[in-house]
Amino acid sequence: MEITKQRRFRGAFSRCLAVLNVLLVCACSSNTNPAGRPATQPTATTVPDASEKPTRAELRIVSLSPAISRTLVDFNLQDRIVGRTPHCASLDPAIPVVGDLLTIDFEALLRLRPTHVLVQPPATGINSHLVELAAEHRWTVLQWRLDGVNDVRAMVKDLGSTLLRPQTDDAEKIAVRSNAILLDIEESLSPGEQHIFSGSVLMATSVAPILAAGRGTYLDDILKSFGGVNAVTSEGWVELTMEDVTRLDPKAIVLFKPQASAESSFWDYAGPLMELSVEAMMLRRLALIKNQESLVPSSAVVSVAEELRHLMQSFQETPIE
């Protein structure tokens, strides 16, 4: 294996979404769902028949995932959200906080009387007490594993039909919106007509330690969708040493810092990377992505993919002489 010291953060990619403000990169698993497996997995005891599903006006959604919250905003359903996590930056801060996926305030949840609770489950599964309360109070609990781009596509495709009563005007509007978002995602993931940089790219979220996106991660999916090459071939989120990066010799380095200020540059976050003698550093193929949603696998993949693609088009192929 090209990487001698690594820890695979299979359980960590979910916690990043729950604690995005401190930039812990997380996920339930480092692997994306197989294409044929549905990403929507309603809790069987709480799913109503189609005739019992609410209208749009009756929806009362609690979202325990910043990624799901961001997607609900793209569906113009933010006004139906009555509870959120403290990390749902896309939502009105006046919406009550009910904790996050790992720590739920059940008293607050009961006061909100939700029709739906939407979660991004950790590797250990949904909180058992949440499932019990949902069955008792007839809440619909829906869960999505959001490890990669295919999972985002599946969530966008399924979201409206799992929430709303079918064959209503609101359901039809949601279906139209779903198709539009899916088309935007496909367009953002296409390579376009300009040349895409063919050298290997190291994509990292921190430098002390160096935490990089490997195969099967959300960022890896985006990069490869338009022909980019990931410098890290191991699965999941991988912790690297400086020696590891030297051996990988990436031809470009991209740092993802959602909380960076508009004035920040790559060098403000490079830290020990500045000591590296790799092609990316020598030819200054370096970039800082400040997109606040760059680590949230959601419908916001559109803006993240477009920004990364433009970077890949801007990097030059000049070899070292």
pLDDT tens-digit profile of 177-230? 999 999 999 999 998 888 999 999 999 999 989 999 999 999 999 999 999 999
Give the model's pLDDT for residue 37: 40
Q: Determine whether domain 12-29+193-314 maps to CATH 3.40.50.1980.
A: yes
The interaxial angle of helices 149-163 and 169-188, nearest 10 deg, is: 170
Give the model's pLDDT for residue 125: 79
Q: Structural domain boundaries of the chain?
A: 12-29+193-314, 44-188
> Strand 210-213 relative to strand 237-240: parallel, antiparallel, unpaired?
antiparallel
Give the model's pLDDT for residue 49: 67
Give the model's pLDDT for residue 38: 40
For the chain, residues with pLDDT lower than 50 are: 1-40, 42-45, 320
Give the model's pLDDT for residue 160: 84
Two structure tokens written together for 66: 């910043």
Give the model's pLDDT for residue 33: 40
> How far is it, in rounded angstroms, from Cα 176 to Cα 162?
15
> How far is it, in rounded angstroms, from Cα 269 to Cα 210?
11
Give the model's pLDDT for residue 44: 40
Q: Determine whether domain 44-188 maps to CATH 3.40.50.1980.
A: yes
202 and 252 in contact (C-beta within 8 Å)?
yes
Amino acid at 291: N
> How far is it, in rounded angstroms, from Cα 299 to Cα 35?
18
> How far is it, in rounded angstroms, from Cα 304 to Cα 300?
7
